[in-house]
Chains A and B, each alone.
Chain A
Amino acid sequence: MPAPDGDGSAGEGGAQDLSQESIEGHVAAALRAVGAAGDLDELKQARLAHAGDRSPLALANRAIGGLPGSEKAAAGKLVGQARGKVNQALAARQVELEAERDERILVDEAMDLTVAPGRRPLGRRHVLTVTAERMADAMVGMGWEIAEGPQVEAEWFNFDALNFDKDHPARQMQDTFFVDPAKAGLVLRTHTSPVQARSLIERGVPLYVAVPGKTFRTDELDATHTPVFHQLEGLAIDEGLTMAHLKGTLDRLAEGMFGPGIVSRLRPAYFPFTEPSAEMDFRCFVCRGVATDPACRTCGGTGWIEWGGCGMVNQNVLRACGVDPDRYQGFAFGMGVERTAMFRHGIADMREMIEGDVRFNAQFGMEI
């Protein structure tokens, strides 16, 4: 620890030299000590030695009282200025050393965070639920509402209300899970279409509803089939709705799911609950149907990708739901959520979506 410099130091009891040389010598010694302080501890020692109660300048200050009155003023001014100079230097050095210390702490505290993924990784939503929500949102954007219905459904709602005659081959082709006993009249819904009937009966017309939901068929699980899958159903019943409105709605939904300019195409088909009926394809979003790529792996070079079924709601369905088919008409469509997600994300194997492997989810963000 450096001792106060200079030869002007003296014990409290000693006589004080209040000469200008002596005072300036104290100041010079103090400034040297302040300048030499390398850290805040050393500065603290310098402060004690040169500005503390027992420092030469403090003692000199105290000695002023013992001077004759005529000398007091001059000595007071001399010592006061000297102390001021020393305090100023101390304060300035304090700021410097604190800044140095703060900087050093930051350096010392530095951490290598290049491997620090966080203690708790974020979870994820499932791609199918998010896809279904995205589809539903596209419909809500068109002014539609979202309806829901039960998975274990009355046979009447699943089939008869939708004009599936009990002897019609189409009813047998649905590969239905039946609830035991058969007389219970219940099935696992084979499509989201029973919610059409429920909505019509419960809400009446005009009606614009979309129905996302889980559906069931007795298919064994493989790369392209699953006994439990998801559909999005759309139903619009109003005055004056046509197949052109159906196509417009599908085009808008296709754009919502696959990007601007992706439109739909209708092909004749058959479903008991629509007449006329159509299969809908959407324009391949990879090759966009440009003939330059006959080898497009997404669409097989056809330029179109199958999406689902649709059509004008069969008058028998309207009758079964208490709607006057001479006044109201409209359209319905349904497509697979799995298929939509598979095409959007290049999922080749259906099983990856249903196994619940957390590594599958981790590939997606919370919004897809």
Chain B
Amino acid sequence: MDLFPPDKILVDRVKNGDREAFTTLMERYQQKVFQTSMGFLHNQADAEDLTQEVFIKSYKSMKSFRGESSFGTWIYRITVNKAINQLRRNKLRAFAGLDAMKGEDSAADTNADAPLLRKEQKEQIKDALTKLNNAQKKVFVLFYYQELNLKEVAEVLELSPKATESLLFRARKNLQKELD
């Protein structure tokens, strides 16, 4: 038996009802999905909730995954879309004043382990990242948090590499302006 079966084989097994195969896929991708979620949400608990949602969604939708892209590309695409939806919901909650307490908690939990950057510096960076438009945000997170190269980012977002490069440049330029 293959100890490190490729994703494609695991996906086929999941489609045939093999739950263990899905656990292996989760083990392979959970940290990456979580890291990407952090790039959008900047809060550990929210990022874990999103990671959970992404895997549940991918499991339920596995039958519709035709394997035209790799499993990785597909799951990052789900992550990015779900993260953007979550940000929209967060905006609505903030607008309704539901997140006042939560914001304080999140600032505390991400600061606890690594007090290398000051709290206000972190808040300023989070603000600047939040202000990027969705397209720039997606490219930025996949490139810096997921460490995908431009071609891979382009594939996940179904963009041309040129457009991806341009979005990344504009994201960096906007962040530069916001942080100055």
Question: Does B associate with A?
Answer: no
Residues of B participating in the A interface, judged by any CB pair closer than 8 Å: none
Q: Residues on A close to B: CB < 8 A?
A: none
